[in-house]
Amino acid sequence: MSRIAEAFARARARNRAAFIAYLCAGDPDFEASVGACLAVAGSGADILELGVPFSDPLADGPTNQLAAQRALAAGMTTARVFELVRRVRAASAIPIVLYTYYNLVFSNGVDAFVKAASEAGVDGMLTLDLPPEEGAEVAEASRRHGLDVVLIVAPTTTDARIEKIAAAATGFIYYVSREGVTGVREELAAGIPAAVDRIRRRSSLPIAVGFGIASREQVAAVAAHADGVIVGSALVNLIRDNAADPGRIAPALAARTADLAAGARKN
């Protein structure tokens, strides 16, 4: 059983949804980012979703775009992302899912990228802009090197396409709960229970819900229906707010992660 499967099974046995924390690798700098990852890993996160900084992050709103800019300005490269993963893996067994874009995978060579990710300690990859119809090479490389392939379902995805995505995905399915880009929202998107049920009828994989979830109450509302809850921008904002004093980042993230993760328990 993979670390990702184990995380969902462990959460299910404890009557809770898995809490998945997103951070951008290298934000605001390498050492602070290592500390940030270990802070969320030690404070209730079941899975770490680690963004690979990219100059044109199409699915991301301003919060995560600026996080990528900070990381790139601090010297992050693909090789340093893998170095960061190795540092985290040396201290934590938390499952790590890379959140990336296909150009980064392709430009490094698909097999070489996936092999390096696996050797560093990555457990799965979510390639945001790679549809399953064009993802055979990444899927095969991931199978060869033991990585899960996480795929996205959106509110506009048809039933027929959900079946195609479900057939290609491993690890879990990421339900993007609203149209548009990442970012904190005051209210949850409508229709999450029905959407999760629609996916569940077509896949036995765990379903994690993200985009716009920012409070303990919102985590609890999603956890009542989904197998996993993903929070990103609300955590990344803490890094932004404390970037001038990096020593404050890890404690701030630890406290916020513990609060958010507490909402993942099912009633």
Contact 49, 126 (CB under 8 A): yes
CA atoms within 13 A on the CB side of 43: 19
pLDDT score of 60: 63
Contact 11, 18 (CB under 8 A): yes
pLDDT score of 62: 79
pLDDT score of 183: 43
Nearest 5°: phi and psi at 29? -155, 175
pLDDT score of 65: 85
pLDDT score of 181: 46
Tens-binned pLDDT, residue by residue, of the chain (267 aa): 899 999 999 999 999 999 999 999 999 999 999 999 999 999 999 999 999 998 877 766 677 888 999 999 999 999 999 999 999 999 999 999 999 999 999 999 999 999 999 999 999 999 999 999 999 999 999 999 999 999 999 999 999 999 999 999 999 999 998 654 444 455 676 789 999 999 999 999 999 999 889 999 999 999 999 999 999 999 999 999 999 999 999 999 999 999 999 999 997
Contact 52, 98 (CB under 8 A): yes
Bridge pairing between strands 148-149 and 124-127 = parallel
Question: Distance (Å, rounded) from C-alpha 232 to C-alpha 213?
Answer: 8
* Domains identified in the chain and CATH numbers: 3-262 (3.20.20.70)
Is 60 known to be catalytic? yes
Bridge pairing between strands 96-100 and 124-127 = parallel
State the greatest distance between any 2 C-alpha atoms of the chain, in Å, as a whole number: 49
pLDDT score of 59: 61
Structure tokens at 188: 């949850």
Give buried/exposed letters for 29-61 (b at 16+ CB in 10 A, else e).
bbebbbbbbbbbbbbbbbbbbbbbbbeebebbb
Question: Distance (Å, rounded) from C-alpha 161 to C-alpha 114?
Answer: 26
Which of 49, 123, 148, 227 is labelled catalytic? Answer: 49
Cis before residue 28, ω within 30 degrees of 0? Answer: yes
Which residues, listed in sequence order, are joined to residue 47 by a DSSP beta bridge? 20
Structure tokens at 224: 């009542």
Question: Distance (Å, rounded) from C-alpha 250 to C-alpha 267?
Answer: 30
Nearest 5°: phi and psi at 168? -95, -20
Contact 23, 48 (CB under 8 A): yes
Which of 27, 60, 123, 148 is labelled catalytic? Answer: 60
Grouping H, G, I as helix, E, B as strand and the rest as coil, residue 210 is: strand
Tokens 């020593």 belong to residue: 247
Structure tokens at 95: 């499952």
Q: What is the reported pTM?
A: 0.94
Which residues, listed in sequence order, are joined to residue 20 by a DSSP beta bridge? 47, 230
pLDDT score of 64: 80
